[in-house]
């Protein structure tokens, strides 16, 4: 059976194809708020390329402000896929089962932002107990599992923001102004600009944690992704520029912001691990380097999962 997995996020679409040659994983920057009407042709090209017999679908893009509400978003995404694929579609739900497009439309809240379910279910089945820590470009999922089952307190994004199982902080697209109210500059606490001047990708690029090709989202100022250009964006966060601050001073700001984000993820992870008495972290996502450092500081045993959410669905369907 040739299976295609699709994870349609707000900023990225992840794909996984499982055919005779094994598994092929992919990811593409696709900002839905700018390219909503290109979704159907995009999916059409993916379907054309892989010619799957079945497609497994999960999403978070329905939250985007391209849609008035989640119902409209879920319908649009399901319609887009149905419009270019005639075979069977299976939609991942927060109940941990796959549902039909018809059920997805009827129970749209159960398929909205369900993309954390499949990968944590996969981890639970394979590793029995631990915490899944998936640091993506935009958000972080921290999902506890025990005795082969996931045991989240929240199911919807709202509930997950309340339970701490969803942190809205990520490795690439997070506005630095949401990570710290102030940063030290030349030893003095300095307020930050609340504009969208720079993002976490700039910090990790300057500190060498990611390379230019990993910086897959757009830059806030539409300039390039060289470390020099990333530094200029970071300087602007304290209303300065690269004529006022030297490289070392900008790197100090980047280090401070990195530590702040690591602290957010570490404390979130500790809270969930402590709640369930878990001692292993299973890390994944484009920001797995953050998950690993945070898990290390939290004293958890680290296991890296080389899998995206789209391929996790295929693994569950194959069993």
Question: Rule CB under 8 A: which residues touch its own copies?
Answer: 10, 33, 63, 65-66, 68-71, 109, 113, 138, 156-158, 161-162, 164, 166-170, 174-175, 177-178, 181, 185, 188-197, 220-221, 223, 232-233, 236, 238-244
> Which residue number, 64 or 146, has a Cβ lying nearer to its own copies?
64
Count the Cβ atoms, other than its own, within 10 Å of residue 87.
Answer: 12
Q: How far apart are CA 120 and CA 14, in angstroms?
A: 16
Q: Which is nearer to its own copies, 270 or 311 (CB)?
A: 270
Q: Which is nearer to its own copies, 107 or 296 (CB)?
A: 107
- Write down the least CB distance from residue 51 to its own copies, Å: 35
- Tally the C-alpha atoms within 13 A of residue 85's C-alpha that lie toward its C-beta: 33
Q: Nearest distance from residue 69's CB to its own copies, in Å?
A: 4
Q: How far is the CB of 168 from its own copies (least distance, A)?
A: 5
CA distance 180 to 163: 22
Residue 33 or 274 with smaller CB distance to its own copies:
33
Shortest distance in whole angstroms from residue 52 CB to its own copies: 30
Distance CA 186, CA 243 (A): 15
Please check whether residue 180 is in contact with residue 260, taking contact to mean a CB–CB distance below 8 angstroms.
yes
Rg (CA), the chain: 20
Distance CA 187, CA 134 (A): 34
Tell the residue number behind the tokens 């994983």, with chain if given: 25
Minimum CB–partner distance for residue 63 and its own copies (Å): 6
- Whether residue 101 contacts residue 83, with contact meaning beta carbons closer than 8 Å, is answered with no
Q: Report in angstroms how near the CB of residue 174 gets to its own copies at its nearest.
A: 5
How many angstroms separate the CA atoms of 203 and 195, rounded?
16
Smallest gap from Cβ 88 to its own copies, in A, equals: 29
Could you give the CA distance from residue 311 to residue 17 in angstroms, rounded to a whole number? 7
In angstroms, what is the minimal distance from the CB of 266 to its own copies?
A: 15
Instruction: Pick the closer one to its own copies by CB: 119 or 240.
Output: 240
Taking alpha carbons only, the member of 221, 222, 169 closest to residue 200 is: 169
Whose Cβ is closer to its own copies: residue 77's or residue 305's?
Answer: 77
Q: Which helix (H) or strand (E) holds 306?
A: none
Q: Which of 240, 204, 234 is CA-nearest to residue 220?
A: 234
Closer residue to its own copies (CB): 132 or 240: 240
Give yes or no for a contact between 138 and 61, defined as CB atoms under 8 angstroms apart. no
Cβ-based nearer residue to its own copies, 26 or 164: 164
């Amino acid at each position: 059976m040739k299976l295609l997995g699709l994870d349609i996020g707000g900023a990225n679409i992840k794909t996984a194809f499982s055919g005779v040659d094994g598994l092929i994983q992919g990811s593409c920057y696709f900002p839905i708020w700018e390219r909503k009407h290109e979704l159907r042709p995009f999916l059409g090209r993916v379907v054309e390329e892989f010619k799957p017999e079945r497609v497994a679908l999960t999403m978070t893009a329905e939250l985007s402000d391209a849609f008035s509400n989640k119902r409209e978003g879920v319908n649009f995404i399901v319609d887009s896929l149905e419009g270019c694929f005639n075979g069977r579609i299976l939609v991942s739900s927060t109940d941990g089962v796959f549902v039909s497009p018809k059920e997805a439309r009827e129970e749209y809240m159960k398929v909205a932002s369900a993309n954390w379910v499949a990968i944590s279910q996969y981890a639970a089945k394979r590793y029995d107990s631990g915490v899944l820590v998936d640091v993506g470009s935009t958000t972080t999922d921290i999902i506890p599992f025990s005795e082969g089952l996931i045991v989240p307190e929240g199911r919807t994004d709202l509930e997950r923001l309340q339970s701490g199982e969803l942190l809205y902080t990520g490795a690439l697209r997070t506005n630095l102004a949401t990570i710290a109210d102030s940063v030290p500059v030349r030893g003095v606490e300095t307020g930050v600009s609340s504009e969208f001047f720079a993002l976490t990708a700039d910090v990790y690029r300057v500190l060498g944690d990611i390379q230019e090709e990993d910086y897959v989202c757009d830059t806030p100022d539409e300039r390039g992704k060289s470390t020099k250009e990333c530094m200029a964006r970071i300087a602007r966060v304290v209303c300065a520029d690269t004529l006022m601050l030297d490289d070392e001073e900008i790197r100090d700001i980047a280090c401070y912001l990195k530590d702040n984000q690591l602290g957010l993820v570490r404390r979130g992870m500790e809270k969930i691990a402590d709640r369930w008495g878990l001692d292993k972290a299973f890390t994944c996502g484009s920001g797995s380097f953050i998950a690993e450092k945070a898990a290390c500081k939290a004293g958890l045993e680290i296991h890296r999962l080389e899998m995206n959410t789209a391929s996790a669905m295929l693994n569950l369907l194959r069993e």
